Amino acid sequence: MYKNILVHALVNIGDVVLTTSAIALLKKAYPESRITMMVRPFARQLIENNPVIDDVMVFDYKSKEKSLTTTVRMIKEIRRRKFDASISFDRKMRPALLTWLAGIPVRVGPSKVFDDKPSWVTHLYTDVIKITCNLDNSLQAETYQNIVREFTKQAGSAKPVIARIMPENEKRAAELLALLPENKYRIALCIKGTFPLKTWPIERYVEVVHELARKYDCSFCIVGSRSDRDYADELIQSAQTPVVNFCGNTDLIDLAALLKYVDLFLTVDTGAAHIAATVGVPMVVVYGCTSPTRWHPLSDKTITLYSDVPCRPCKLLAAECPAPRCLENVTVAEVLRACICHLEG
């Protein structure tokens, strides 16, 4: 029975959310254990005050001039906390080295997690969990959960768990939603992916907004990071219907609180979709180059739309793609049908 476990996922927001489903299984297997999660700074809000995670360690190693100092400090801190086991959900070299140098006696990690390429990082683990599935055709959350199932020899499944929504998050969400017109339906949009081959064309969103406003009594807002704000303004300037720009006005838990009170969330494949899944909002997710089979949010209120082109999932950068049919082939009519299904369902 392990009493003090370190888990690490130095990955993007969506993946951090998905790994919490595996941590929920770990907590079920070892209910008396203290679980600490190591994440990058931007994911801290998802982990602090999380029902299945007892503590958070933030590891910021991007700054070159601070990298060595930060790494040495982190090794000392891990040693001080005397963990008896660690579990990797990222198969990254840096955290594997940290846990090895800190002397954690049991170090668990997957044979693969994001791609099929072999890596000598697995030599730093004491227990390598053999992942045999085709990653592109398997739900990523299941891959994370399989790591825990194989290690603990426990069955079962779990949903992702983010930090508790606090009264201050509810208050912020209410303040923002009060800026919307008082219509029957509230519809939130997240229109920009982390790279171009995830981003459905703006003019198609404009058509969707126009048709939904014509058919239903609804108000619209756009959510996203501060860096998405100008892109969202492009849609707003083209739309015939008022749309309010909330990009940069919420932190991650504020966003979860806000999405609790909307009637529909239309989004691209992004971390916001996985946050939305934890609050049960009806959702339509448009996929471009990524696989909906693999990156489907864990929610039965999600409709995924994608073009089944032979080159998906894509291994190219956007600049190298001669004709991104994966996005172009997802039509306005398909998206409208999915939105209407939720609104009338």
Q: Which long-range contacts (CB under 8 A, 24 or more apart) does 325-331 make?
A: 326/197, 326/287, 326/288, 326/289, 327/197, 327/199, 327/200, 327/201, 327/286, 327/288, 327/289, 328/201, 330/200, 330/286, 330/287, 330/288, 330/305, 330/306
Q: Which carries the bigger pLDDT value, residue 44 or residue 289? A: 44
**33-73 pLDDT, tens per residue?**
999 999 999 999 999 999 999 999 999 876 555 577 888 99
The pLDDT, as a whole number, for residue 317 is 56
Percent of the chain residues past pLDDT 90, beyond the cut? 84
| Stated pTM of the model | 0.94
The pLDDT, as a whole number, for residue 293 is 93
- All domains of the chain, ordered by start, with CATH? 4-152 (3.40.50.2000), 167-344 (3.40.50.2000)
pLDDT band, residue 316 (cuts 50/70/90) = low
The rounded distance, in Å, linking the Cα atoms of 288 and 311 is 11
CB atoms within 10 A of CB 176: 20
Percent of the chain residues past pLDDT 70, beyond the cut? 96
The pLDDT, as a whole number, for residue 320 is 65
pLDDT of 319 over the 60 cut: no
pLDDT of 104 over the 90 cut: yes
**108-122 pLDDT, tens per residue?**
999 999 999 989 999
pLDDT band, residue 310 (cuts 50/70/90) = confident
**145-182 pLDDT, tens per residue?**
999 999 999 999 999 999 999 999 999 999 999 999 99
Quick one: CA dihedral 206, 207, 209, 210, positive or negative?
Answer: positive
pLDDT of 318 over the 60 cut: no
